[in-house]
Chains A and B, each alone.
Chain A
């Protein structure tokens, strides 16, 4: 009995010791040059390219391709050819013809033809999920020949920007166009991009391998495999980078972000994005039904402090609602600055020299750390002009529900983060300030028929210069009326090891690492 007990105990102990020691050498494997490890914060909601409209957008452009791409900042032209070699629009902007590249193969062996393009876009339109709304102007898709596809529109629209959207515009293999969402979500894909999805473990890891028959070829230095590790904690991602377990990360803690460039191993790249923060003022009730008070508040906002403190300096004070770099942006528009004297003067003009008695409600999305950080800064400055606000953090879905409930019960001030689905300002201007019968996104509850008319004209004019001028005029109206405050346009950081080269930041495809261009030195 005694010996049996001893023996059992020793066996268990030895097994434990063996397990611990056999575990010891297992983690030191150095990453080879042909493998890229990406510590990404972005999970996948769906792999269906027609329905995708969430954080999987980070990976989609490496698997799928669009007819054309919006060129990165600093390019000579606004667009770059994708699956279409060239394209043209009719003079009235109602017909858009795309001439496709020949010999493009999909990962499953299917070939790119005009029919594949028609079927892909029609699938997306028919499903009506995600960002399918961008194809609303499309009346008909015609096959001119095997490699020419023509889009007829109900009304003129900048279809080049729509076709280059980072959502919903992906072309799917003809072999998979009839598959349902379930099939894609089981981990299948049907793109013709540079990388093939090799395996997918939800919330854990995605592995991609290079597509040998990719139409651009593999002549330069490229990665054979990409391993995406889903890492939600910034501190963990930072340690992975520093120790060489990862090559690039999408997030590190804000406090580390500032000093990231001082590390010997790593560096921070910063690029523009079309993401921005607005502060909506409820124009349907007191006190923001008064334009002068709205303007006063616009002057009371500490723009620079907000960028410095809440975004670690990564941002630019917005000039109007259309972000820097996007078509329609106009740097010459009036920009409110932090000027408390002007703000007080406007409050006096509005008949409230001593401020407002009521306490106003200021809501923001509790899960958004940037909004959490700038809310107190705004509260503090508004108090200086006699406006007292009560900050109310809410989970985004709850905040949205409250705002959709109508202006009477909703906020006085609400912080909202926004990004456009495609690179035309119409979607932003229409969604956020166009008259809505039932509130859905216009949370300033702004009503201006002239503004509505002007943005619609701008959207449907085929003349780019005229559209730019009309968009500028529409923004002038918004800046003058001040239904919202345009806080700042976000600059997105990427954290990487120094030996990783070729990372291109394109604000039209925010957060997308284009792996095809990358390599390790």
Chain B
């Protein structure tokens, strides 16, 4: 197992290096002078020239890339051209909000998706199965940005059940401010026993969480259904039924455990995908995560931020994949890594 992880980590280095090179070249061939972006729209030509030298933009592209890699190896992702703040600080500021949303979304997706898949398999080709299929396909097919707006209209405007966006209610935030410990508001409010903030944070999580969870929920439900159907046709299930094991135990303990492999893979990939899917959901729910951070950077060609966030996403994707592989091995002893 350890050898496998080391080998995967080495591969990860190559993947990141390749991605870094591609992103670097792409961000530099796009028209737009980074020195001008650094100084602002009315800077003088002489100032622009000075900043070009300061940022190393007067050097050949391969030298600039080498410098970038050197800084990257020291954990320095550079400085935002727009805000002049280190990109690492920007990411640390914005990432907890995105991760909080993603963790709650994958939790909801698993909590709803797996039982739906199991029920659907159990009730194969009945009305219940068809309804769950309709629900799952709709989850996967409906665009998240559209769903987000529909949720806002229905649950905020019409029913007044949930807030329209943000992480905490304005007044609650003023009266019971959250002390920053982890950056995850739910955890921070829990740790400090700040109950008004806790309930407010939860209510603000509901709509963006469901929006983000929908795609994964549908996918997990479909995957669970199909693998469950295969497993339910296995001989040992028939034997279990013959010896009188209850149907619920067969479904949720014996069959589901053996059907979990593909579901875990799907959930893992969905989770990694969420870091990109959350970008536009964050915009609509004015959720101050990575999406808010990178949107402005893209318009201004703030390439250190674009590259930093891209590297983060790639790293996240590869690491989640690795964890998924390990989890599958844990769930299915027949699989040996290495």
Contact (Cβ within 8 A) B174 A227: yes
A208–chain B nearest beta-carbon distance, Å:
11
User: Which residues of A sit under 8 angstroms from B231, Cβ to Cβ?
Assistant: none
User: Which residues of A sit under 8 angstroms from B299, Cβ to Cβ?
Assistant: 367, 395-396
Contact (Cβ within 8 A) A129 B202: no
Q: CA A120 – CA B157 in complex, angstroms?
A: 48
User: Which residues of B sit under 8 angstroms from A131, Cβ to Cβ?
Assistant: 42
Query: Known: A26-B200, A203-B293. Is A31-B164 also a contact (CB below 8 A)?
Result: no
User: Which residues of B sit under 8 angstroms from A5, Cβ to Cβ?
Assistant: 249, 252-253
User: Which residues of A sit under 8 angstroms from B169, Cβ to Cβ?
Assistant: 26-27, 29
Contact (Cβ within 8 A) A235 B149: yes
Contact (Cβ within 8 A) B90 A28: no
Contact (Cβ within 8 A) B84 A185: yes
CB under 8 Å from chain A, chain B span 242-269: 246, 248-249, 252-253
CB under 8 Å from chain B, chain A span 18-51: 19-20, 22-32, 35, 37, 43-46
A133 at the interface (CB under 8 A from B): yes
Choose the segment among A371-379, A398-406, A453-461 that binds chain B (4+ C-beta atoms closer than 8 Å): A398-406
B1–chain A nearest beta-carbon distance, Å:
27
Query: Known: A128-B47, A239-B164, A397-B300. Is A22-B199 also a contact (CB below 8 A)?
Result: yes
Contact (Cβ within 8 A) A245 B170: yes
Q: CA A94 – CA B42 in complex, angstroms?
A: 25
A517 at the interface (CB under 8 A from B): no
B78 at the interface (CB under 8 A from A): no
Q: CA A203 – CA B153 in complex, angstroms?
A: 23
A130 at the interface (CB under 8 A from B): yes
Contact of B249 (CB < 8 Å), options: A2, A22, A54, A199: A2
A16 at the interface (CB under 8 A from B): yes
A440 at the interface (CB under 8 A from B): yes
Contact (Cβ within 8 A) A27 B170: no
- Count chain A residues whose beta carbon lies closer than 8 angstroms to a beta carbon of B: 70
Q: Which residue of A lies closest to B283 (CB)?
A: A232
User: Which residues of A sit under 8 angstroms from B33, Cβ to Cβ?
Assistant: 397, 401, 404
Contact (Cβ within 8 A) B286 A230: yes
B72 at the interface (CB under 8 A from A): no
Contact (Cβ within 8 A) B203 A46: no
Q: Which residue of A lies closest to B104 (CB)?
A: A19
A181 at the interface (CB under 8 A from B): yes
CB under 8 Å from chain A, chain B span 159-187: 160-167, 169-174, 177
Q: CA A28 – CA B200 in complex, angstroms?
A: 10
B60 at the interface (CB under 8 A from A): no
Interface of A is mostly: mixed
Interface of B is mostly: helix
Q: CA A192 – CA B204 in complex, angstroms?
A: 35
User: Which residues of B sit under 8 angstroms from A240, Cβ to Cβ?
Assistant: 164
Q: Which residue of B lies closest to A30 (CB)?
A: B171
Contact (Cβ within 8 A) B94 A24: no
Q: CA A421 – CA B40 in complex, angstroms?
A: 12
Q: CA A9 – CA B249 in complex, angstroms?
A: 12
B318 at the interface (CB under 8 A from A): no
User: Which residues of A sit under 8 angstroms from B108, Cβ to Cβ?
Assistant: 16
Contact (Cβ within 8 A) A26 B164: no
A3–chain B nearest beta-carbon distance, Å:
11
B119 at the interface (CB under 8 A from A): no
A231 at the interface (CB under 8 A from B): yes
B82–chain A nearest beta-carbon distance, Å:
6
A202 at the interface (CB under 8 A from B): yes
Q: CA A46 – CA B249 in complex, angstroms?
A: 60
User: Which residues of A sit under 8 angstroms from B301, Cβ to Cβ?
Assistant: 395, 397
B81–chain A nearest beta-carbon distance, Å:
10
- Count chain B residues whose beta carbon lies closer than 8 angstroms to a beta carbon of A: 68
Q: Which residue of A lies closest to B107 (CB)?
A: A16
Query: Known: A1-B253, A43-B296, A401-B31. Is A236-B202 also a contact (CB below 8 A)?
Result: no
A514–chain B nearest beta-carbon distance, Å:
21
Contact (Cβ within 8 A) A19 B170: no
Q: CA A110 – CA B90 in complex, angstroms?
A: 31
Bits for A2-16, please: 1 = Cβ < 8 Å to B, else 0: 100100010010001
Q: CA A400 – CA B83 in complex, angstroms?
A: 20
User: Which residues of A sit under 8 angstroms from B285, Cβ to Cβ?
Assistant: 236
B284 at the interface (CB under 8 A from A): yes
A92 at the interface (CB under 8 A from B): no
A225 at the interface (CB under 8 A from B): yes
A438 at the interface (CB under 8 A from B): yes
A229 at the interface (CB under 8 A from B): yes
A233 at the interface (CB under 8 A from B): yes
Bits for A198-213, please: 1 = Cβ < 8 Å to B, else 0: 0101111101000000
Bits for B37-50, please: 1 = Cβ < 8 Å to A, else 0: 10111101101000
Contact (Cβ within 8 A) A229 B166: yes
A335 at the interface (CB under 8 A from B): no
User: Which residues of A sit under 8 angstroms from B45, Cβ to Cβ?
Assistant: 438, 440
User: Which residues of A sit under 8 angstroms from B300, Cβ to Cβ?
Assistant: 397
B292 at the interface (CB under 8 A from A): yes
Contact of B288 (CB < 8 Å), options: A204, A245, A401: A204
B206 at the interface (CB under 8 A from A): yes
A471 at the interface (CB under 8 A from B): no
User: Which residues of B sit under 8 angstroms from A394, Cβ to Cβ?
Assistant: 31
CB under 8 Å from chain B, chain A span 127-175: 128-131, 133
B200–chain A nearest beta-carbon distance, Å:
4
Query: Known: A229-B166, A231-B165, A440-B45. Is A203-B31 also a contact (CB below 8 A)?
Result: no
Query: Known: A26-B169, A46-B83, A397-B32. Is A133-B42 also a contact (CB below 8 A)?
Result: yes
User: Which residues of A sit under 8 angstroms from B171, Cβ to Cβ?
Assistant: 29-32, 35
Q: CA A28 – CA B31 in complex, angstroms?
A: 47
A354 at the interface (CB under 8 A from B): no
User: Which residues of B sit under 8 angstroms from A185, Cβ to Cβ?
Assistant: 83-85
The 5 closest A-B pairs by CB, nearest first: A397-B32, A204-B288, A26-B203, A23-B203, A398-B31
14 contacts between A and B (CB under 8 A): A23-B202, A26-B200, A27-B161, A27-B162, A29-B170, A37-B170, A130-B40, A202-B288, A205-B166, A205-B173, A245-B164, A397-B31, A397-B301, A401-B32
Given A45-B83, A204-B97, 18 further pairs, Cβ under 8 A: A23-B204, A23-B205, A26-B163, A31-B170, A53-B41, A54-B82, A129-B39, A130-B40, A133-B44, A204-B166, A227-B170, A236-B152, A236-B165, A236-B286, A245-B163, A397-B36, A421-B42, A438-B45
A residues within 8 Å of B by Cβ?
1-2, 5, 9, 12, 16, 19-20, 22-32, 35, 37, 43-46, 53-54, 128-131, 133, 181-182, 185, 199, 201-205, 207, 225, 227, 229-233, 235-236, 239-240, 242-243, 245, 367, 394-398, 400-402, 404, 421, 431, 438, 440
